[in-house]
Amino acid sequence: MNPTEQFTFESIERQLGAAIAQGYEFMTCARYVAGKAAGSLPERTLVNRVDIDFSCTKARELAAIFNRLGVKGTFFVRLHAKEYNPFSFENYRVLKFIRDSGHEIGYHSEIVDQSVIWDEDAADCLRRDIDVLNRMLGIHIQGVASHGGMTGLNNLDFWKDTLPSDFGLLYEGYDTTPEFDLFNTSFYISDSEWTRWKCYDNGVQRADDRRSLEEHVQGGHPLIYLLIHPDTYFQGHFYE
């Protein structure tokens, strides 16, 4: 397959369908925390995470695919991106559609970037961002995932000595508290190199393994942590 053909919306719908056919039960990050606490995770679990880095419009396409397939996911939303305004007329409609479809919405955090650029306390930025997102959508977010941007700073660093529960949250996307600890205990598959898949087995990268989701689900990993980005996918060509 031409490498970019794996990243059409049609292809990701087929690949997610392949995971369902292999018996994977999809869930949001919050439902994963609850299932883990209750000791009731399915034999084949797929935690379905979406980071909205650049395009809410494309996120709507992914949500529509999830809806057609009857699965749920967690969508992490940025609040300070140059690329989109979550409160623009169309994007707010999209976020309401995602919410009303029963998907989880979380905050795609850039609080370390904010603290340096604005000379403000990162914890204050986080509290304000959680309040704003909750108020905007009438929700109570349960999780945060840190965005890897272009500042050279690592938004994950904030969590080195801070617990999600200190902010009324259940989890951070890569946190290693026993309640979550997903990245290091799962088979993690991501499209974060754009038109190339990468994977980590229990937190260790399989450097040469560029197999797609569709190929990995044949392997029967009991717990898959899938991270995809709406911006990666397209109908006709990458730059549409």
Residue 110 binds to Zn ion (criterion: CB under 5 A): no
Interface stretch with Zn ion, choices 26-34, 52-60, 173-181, 211-219 (CB under 5 A): 52-60
- Which residue's CB is nearer to Zn ion, number 133 or number 217? 133
Burial zone of 126 (CB within 10 Å; 0-12 exposed, 13-18 middle, 19+ buried): buried
Contact present, 86 and 110 (Cβ < 8 Å): no
Which residue's CB comes closest to Zn ion? 147
Q: CA 122 to CA 42: how far, in whole Å? A: 37
- Which residue's CB is nearer to Zn ion, number 51 or number 104? 51
Neighbours of 132 (CB within 10 A): 14
Q: Which of 13, 51, 113, 214 binds Zn ion (CB under 5 A)?
A: 51
- Which residue's CB is nearer to Zn ion, number 31 or number 78? 78
Shortest Å distance, C-beta 8 to Zn ion: 21
Residue 49 binds to Zn ion (criterion: CB under 5 A): no
Shortest Å distance, C-beta 50 to Zn ion: 10
Task: List, in sequence order, every residue forming a beta bridge with 45; answer none if it has no partner.
Answer: 25, 223
Residue 147 binds to Zn ion (criterion: CB under 5 A): yes
Interface stretch with Zn ion, choices 45-53, 175-183, 202-210, 219-227 (CB under 5 A): 45-53
Any alpha helices (H) in the chain, and if so which ranges? Answer: 9-21, 29-38, 56-69, 89-100, 111-118, 122-137, 213-216
Q: Which of 46, 48, 53, 79 binds Zn ion (CB under 5 A)?
A: 53
Nearest 10 degrees: Cα torsion 115, 119, 120, 122: 20
Which residues are at the interface with Zn ion (CB under 5 A)?
51, 53, 147
